[in-house]
Chains A and B, each alone.
Chain A
C-alpha cells in the first residue's frame, strides 16, 4: 500500500481521536513511533493491521471508520480542491470520477487507485463501479468503496447537493463493488465556494 494512503489513515486517526489513540494503535500494529512515511510502499498487511486495531479500540465497524476517513480527506483543502476540479455541479463531479484514477496516476504513478466507471441512469441515478481485474481481493479494493462513499457524501455537502449514497458488495468476479448515488436535489443548500485558480500567496510589500 502506498505510504500516502497509510499516512492519511494515520493523520485521520491522530487528528480525529488524538495522539494517544494513534500511539496505541501504532504500537499494537507494530509500527515505529514516527508512523508511516508518505513516499514509501508498505506491506498491505500493515494497513489492515492498523485498520483492524483502530476499529477494535474505537468499537466501530471498519467500514464506518473508512467512511469517516473519506469525509476527513475532503476536509483537507488541497484534496478538496483536486476533487472540485471535476466540475461546476455535483453531477459533473460524479462524471469526472471516470478520470480520477488517470489524474492520480499522472501525479503518483504507483498510488494504485482502482479504476472508476460511472454509469448514469435517468432521474439522477448513478452507479459508480470500482476497479476490475486484479485489484479485486487486494486491500485497496476492500478499502476503496467505503472511503469513496464517505468522500462522495462529503463532496455532496461541499456542492450543496442532497444525495442518497448506498454501498453494494462485489458482484461477480473481477468487480470490487459499486456505489449507488441518488441525486435528489443538485442545489439543496448553499455549497462551499471554489475557484479554479489558487488564491494569491501573501506577498510582503
Chain B
C-alpha cells in the first residue's frame, strides 16, 4: 500500500509521522516546516485599514521615525499626541533596552522585545517589536505594540472594549482570568477566616472544662511546662505557688440533691476561685471535685494561708439549688516553687497532693503549706 503512494504524499505522510512522534514525546521535535512563498505578495494591497484589523496597535514609521499610520486601538491609547508626522521618540520613551533613541538604534536592535511608555499621562507601558521595511536605511519600520503587565490599568485608563483587541489576542482572556482569580481569592480568604476561627475554637475547647469553663488538666500541664521554660536555661524559673483543692462533702450533695445540684455547686466553686485569683493565675479543674491553682509570683506563706482560708470561707456559704441548699467545704495543700532546686511539675503536684491529705487528716477545711525540713 505504502509503496503505491506518489512521492509528495509519501513525504507528507513522513512529515505527519514525525509530528505525531514529537507530540507523543518519542521523536525529535520538528523545526517549523519551511514554507516558501508561492509568489511575493503585493504589499501595496495591505492598506493601513486592513493592517489595523490584523494588528490594532501597529505603528508605521518612515525612515526618520515619523508616524505614517497607526492602528485604531493605538490611536485610542495615544489620543491627540498621535498626529501624522510626529516622531516615535517624541511620543514614547523606550525604557528597555536602554539608550535606544534613534531609528539607527532601533534598526540595530533587531527583532528583540522593546519596552516603551507613553510620554504623556497616564504614561501607559507597552511592549513592542519592530521590523525594517526594506533592506536599506531609506526604508521605514513597522512596529506592533501590546500592553504589558499593567494591561488591566490600561484597559480602564483608555476605556477599551472587547472590540479594541484582535480576535487572536488573549488580552480579554487575561482580564477574565484576573477577575476570576480575584473572585476565587476572595472566597479563599473567607474560607481561611472560617478555618482560623474553627481552629481557635477547637483549641479553646481542647483546653477547657466544659462545665465550669475553667482550664482542664491538659491546659494545666501546658501552663506548668511554659512556666518551667519561662526561666530560660540560665535564669531561675519565675516563682509560683501550686495549690491543690479538694471539695469536702461534695459527694453528699450529689447523692442527696442530684447531679444537677452537684453541677450547680461546681459552677459556683469555679466562680469563687476565679474571683479570688488574679488574671494571670491559672485555675484548673483536674477531676470531679478537684482543682489546682497556679498562683504566679506568690511566695509568701502567710499570704497563701490567708488566701486559702478566704477561699474555704466562701466555699462554706450554702448554695441554693432547686428545693434545697448545698453546703460544702474544701481542703487545700500548697507548695512553693522556690523550695525546689529543680521545680519539676510532677514532683510539685505530688507534694501538693500530700499536703492536701495532711489537711484532710487535720479534720478538713484546712490549709497545709508544705515547706522543707
**Could you list which residues of chain A lie within 8 angstroms of chain B, going by C-beta atoms?**
4, 7, 34, 37-39, 78-79, 81-82, 85-88, 92, 103-104, 106-108, 195-200
Contact = CB atoms under 8 A, between A and B. Distances in A.
B318 to A, nearest CB: 41
A196 B180 contact: no
Interface string B152-163: 110111011111
Given A39-B188, A197-B157, A107 B198 contact: no
Given A4-B184, A106-B176, A196-B155, 5 more contacts: A85-B175, A87-B162, A107-B184, A195-B156, A198-B156
A103 B180 CA distance: 9
Contacts, number: 74
A108 B184 contact: yes
Nearest to B153: A197
A197 B152 contact: yes
A34 to B, nearest CB: 6
B162 A196 contact: yes
Contacts of B173: 103, 106
A106 B190 CA distance: 22
A79 B182 CA distance: 11
A39 B191 contact: yes
A197 B198 contact: no
Given A34-B194, A38-B188, A82 B163 contact: no
B152 A106 contact: no
B120 interface: no
B179 A78 contact: yes
A95 to B, nearest CB: 11
Give the dominant DSSP class at A's interface. loop
Contacts of A78: 179, 182-183, 186
B206 interface: no
Contacts of A199: 156
Of listed A104, A198, A199, residue having the most chain B CB within 10 A: A198
B172 interface: yes
A195 B159 contact: yes
21 contacts: A4-B184, A4-B187, A38-B184, A38-B188, A39-B184, A39-B191, A78-B183, A82-B176, A88-B161, A92-B162, A103-B177, A104-B180, A106-B173, A106-B177, A107-B177, A107-B181, A107-B184, A196-B155, A196-B172, A197-B152, A198-B179
Given A4-B187, A38-B187, A38-B191, A200 B156 contact: yes
Interface residues of B, number: 28
A108 B179 CA distance: 12
Nearest to A195: B159
Contacts of A103: 173, 176-177, 180
Contacts of A196: 155-156, 159-162, 172, 175
B158 to A, nearest CB: 8
Contacts of B198: 34
Closest 9 CB pairs of A and B: A197-B156, A107-B180, A38-B187, A197-B155, A78-B183, A196-B155, A103-B176, A85-B176, A196-B161
A39 to B, nearest CB: 6
A78 B175 CA distance: 12
Contacts of B194: 34, 37
Contacts of A88: 161-163
A108 B177 CA distance: 10
Contacts of B163: 88
B89 to A, nearest CB: 28
A198 B191 contact: no
A46 to B, nearest CB: 17
A86 B172 CA distance: 9
Nearest to B154: A197
A202 to B, nearest CB: 14
B179 A7 contact: no
A197 B162 CA distance: 10
A86 B176 CA distance: 10
Contacts of B183: 78-79, 82
Contacts of B175: 85, 196
A92 B167 CA distance: 13
A104 B177 CA distance: 8
